[in-house]
Structure 1
């Protein structure tokens, strides 16, 4: 078959800067909406930000209500609860998500299931769900991130744990992309160091995975209706990924160790959005595929800085735990990109060989107190086969990997990630 010659690029409208969240009432008035549901989680609700966002809409004749039942690291059950609430209190003309990726992803699912018929599992990615595409347009969605990491304000994806299967998966379709991303760095100043570290590793892996993904020209040519949001590395996604890495090199450690550093917080917020603009089009691969079962099958790990009594491996932390070994394994696919990434993240050194990028990552992870591999969050050698099974279900992600991933390859990466240093 002929190789692909076309890549696609999509992005939300973007408003960035301190004070941007004070203008959401005006922004929504441009869409002629009258009733808006603000979606958030209890921890973010306690800061007062969601209520403030809701109250300022009244000046523009907009009635707003706050739903604060989002579950940190959402599940199918928490999605269903939010959808039921929206259906029971609607109809709504628009949605505003205030919070981290959990709130934004929940709002995407609510928007989808209140505008289209069917059940949640109809839209979940195959093979876990039925991968149905929405037939009807969604309502306007404004995404207001309060953490610097997920890039969910830029993407077409929402992620959830399917409790019965103990697997993390997602829903992916271009119509899920928020209408407007409002990124106000002032909202991230209360983010604890542990959350900043884990979420920041999500930014970093978004940038690295999309930068090292297979190129769009490596795919077989597709008809327009067959193209998916993750189209492979391309010149536009490369630009965003490189810029995100440059910002992270200057700000990541400062934001973790000096949380009141407003310049560092601003750079992290911008890096998160830029990495989202990159991976939301190019895609992510092995570290994210591994992260889904790592987070979904946690037994008894409790991270610092997260307001929950439940066992939890935060998404960004789960992604990072196999990243060094994953990038050691992918090195042969594009040595120049791996070395370029290492030099962007830690400039001023000469890098050679497959150990360069993993070494930069391990140095960073140790400095910001990311756990030392899978064993540190409760997994052992006996868990590898189970984790492989969960990772290999993420074919939507693994299809973007620069090398074909077998069960044996995944097992090797996971085994070598039990302890990283």
Structure 2
């Protein structure tokens, strides 16, 4: 189990300057995106750096849904800046970009594909020491403040991939629920379903002891190692929080209790999937996002093969007389109802996909064995085609 240090509480972002001072940082890179650079979360962080005498430079060219090109732009900035610490203020795109910049600035002679997941990259283990990285999440979805994963679109192949290593996880995550008050309701809904899917997939991934072969050296053990007793605790708790608070958080932007709990749920799910992994649903999402990087949506989450989590996931499902083979359809029905109640787009067709896209989507999913092999059952091309076809319309 590997996880970042986490500090949670309203206003903890104000402490970032003191943290950097305590680390002895002299030259800091603050990464964010153009939109956030003008909003309170970034301003609070910069005020704290100024107050504590921290010299810093701002990189605000982070791309929402990063690409290999946008990663490399941030990497060049980091190399030229010779920074001794990093602060990432934003969603998963910002935190992941900052992880990559820290990694390659710390390993300046490495080729970009050296650390990218195989088979697209070489998947080399990270053996160089990295600089401290403090992550300040402003959305409640990715859990990237806890994980050693950085995801991007590899434009040449039109597929999403990433870098996965415990070495790149942030040193500290400052989880400040005040930042959630700046999120529109639909962003809360979509990011909330991200939490749900992360936790659900972590819990239903194949068990860690069924992974094979055993790594010949601990340094090559994958970050995504399968479901395990510790990740399960975090995943189940995240699901319960989502069930209790997501609707409230979407419908009432002033419900600080609901939005604070969803911010925590994102972190909890991140701790879970950052060690257990995700599987088929996230592989499918990666293909959809790579095909249409402006739109980040999930297909029917029920397409993941799941077992007995229906009662844990959403309240009200009566499983007293249910059979094992009923678990999948019951969970599908509960999730579909949840999606409908929060006015999520009605399937892939609603966001511009058609049946004509299915062969390309299947082709993009097949190479993502790093995650698809964690699914509780294997998938054929026919299975994937049926999944995409069923996801065209949900309700």
TM, length-normalised to structure 1: 0.89
- Asked if structure 1 preserves the Cα contact closer than 8 Å seen for 2:136 and 2:145, the reply is yes
Give 1:246 shift: 0.9
2:173 to 174, 181, 187: 181
Name the residue aligned to 2:302: 324
1:397 to 356, 362, 371: 371
- Asked if structure 2 preserves the Cα contact closer than 8 Å seen for 1:22 and 1:53, the reply is yes
2:275 to 281, 286, 307: 281
2:115 to 110, 123, 126: 123
**Does residue 12 of structure 2 align to residue 20 of structure 1?**
yes
Give 1:191 shift: 0.4
User: CA offsets, 1:82-129, max 9 Å, x none?
Assistant: 1122222x1101000000001000000100110012232222111222
Distance 1:131 1:227 in 2: 11
Give 1:270 shift: 0.4
**Does residue 85 of structure 2 align to residue 94 of structure 1?**
yes
- Asked if structure 2 preserves the Cα contact closer than 8 Å seen for 1:54 and 1:66, the reply is no
**Does residue 335 of structure 2 align to residue 361 of structure 1?**
yes
- Asked if structure 1 preserves the Cα contact closer than 8 Å seen for 2:14 and 2:48, the reply is yes
- Counterpart secondary structure, 2:3: coil
Higher alpha-carbon deviation: 54-63 or 150-159: 54-63
Q: Which runs of 4+ in 1 moved over 4 A?
A: none
- Asked if structure 1 preserves the Cα contact closer than 8 Å seen for 2:135 and 2:145, the reply is yes
1:346 to 304, 314, 321: 314
User: CA offsets, 1:15-62, max 9 Å, x none?
Assistant: 001011111111122221111111000111120422331231234332
- Asked if structure 2 preserves the Cα contact closer than 8 Å seen for 1:322 and 1:414, the reply is no
Distance 1:201 1:67 in 2: 29
**Does residue 291 of structure 2 align to residue 297 of structure 1?**
yes
1:63 to 52, 55, 58: 55
Name the residue aligned to 2:383: 409
Name the residue aligned to 2:245: 251
Give 1:325 shift: 2.4
**Does residue 221 of structure 2 align to residue 263 of structure 1?**
no
User: CA offsets, 1:237-280, max 9 Å, x none?
Assistant: 00000110111111101111111110011000000000000000
Higher alpha-carbon deviation: 38-47 or 271-280: 38-47
**Does residue 98 of structure 2 align to residue 110 of structure 1?**
no
- Structure 1: tracts of 5 or more residues without a match: 1-8, 299-310
Distance 1:56 1:349 in 2: 47
- Counterpart secondary structure, 2:224: coil
- Matched residues, number: 386
